[in-house]
Amino acid sequence: QSVLTQPPSVSGAPGQRVIISCTGSSSNIGAGYDVHWYQQLPGAPPKVLIYGNINRPSGVPDRFSGSKSGTSASLAITGLQAQDEADYYCQSYDNSLGGVVFGGGTMLTVL
Amino acid sequence: QVQLVESGGGVVQPGTSLRLSCAASGFMFSSYAMTWVRQAPGKGLVWVATISHDGTNKYYADSVKGRFAISRDNFKKTVSLQINSLRREDTAVYYCARRVGATYSQFDQWGQGTLVTVSS
């Protein structure tokens, strides 16, 4: 049971928009700690997709965007492409646990 | 370019110890906190431990406190994870990652990981 809750899977057709949610609590996201998002392609290490809630590292397409409100955060992917099929993880900090926490991960399927 | 290369994984028996290492290159190693994250087969990412840039502060997930020890050598540009009393549930790919900035920041560079399999 992860401290940050993500849907196990989402899917969408090419060109569509999908949103992946990350729900936390008052000791992590709700406490104001930043949320970061990672993409993990099969057999590869994670790669940071969004940092500091809304920021994209250079090289990440603007089809990927992040938002945060209250105790939740979201990753939106527009113009879905086949190469977006991957696992996506949110990450934050929890002051009750005193450490980094990850969401359980969401598998994105492009239909 | 930035590179993180883990080593030391393998098949080990329950109750034994293992030392994982991560060799860094391509950046000012001594300026960055470093972290170990593990991923059990088919499962999600789990934070294990973080060490500050100068090695003075170390943080552990509750699940590994007392059995795992993180350390670093800024001259050799390596970060290590000593794992004692290995359990079957420690079976995972162990990634080392670089943390950008403060405690709540993201991990912007990751190694390819080293697989630890605990089995009799």
Residues 13-52 of B with CB under 8 A from A: 35, 37, 44-47, 50
For residue range A12-32, list pLDDT tens digits in order: 999 999 999 999 999 999 999
The beta-carbon neighbor of B110 closest among A45, A52, A93 is: A45
Tokens of B19: 């030392």
Whether B108 contacts chain A with CB within 8 A: yes
For residue range B70-105, list pLDDT tens digits in order: 999 999 999 999 999 999 999 999 999 999 988 889
DSSP of A6-70: --SEEEE-TT--EEEEEE--TTTGGGT---EEEEE-TTS--EEEEBTTTBPPTTS-TTEEEEEET
User: Could you tell me which of A65, A9, A5 has the C-alpha nearest to residue A29?
Assistant: A5
Q: Which residues of A touch B108 (CB under 8 A)?
A: 48, 51, 57
For residue range A48-98, list pLDDT tens digits in order: 999 999 999 999 999 999 999 999 999 999 999 999 999 999 999 999 999
The nearest CA of chain A is from the CA of B77 a distance in Å of 21
* Whether the predicted pLDDT of A37 surpasses 90: yes
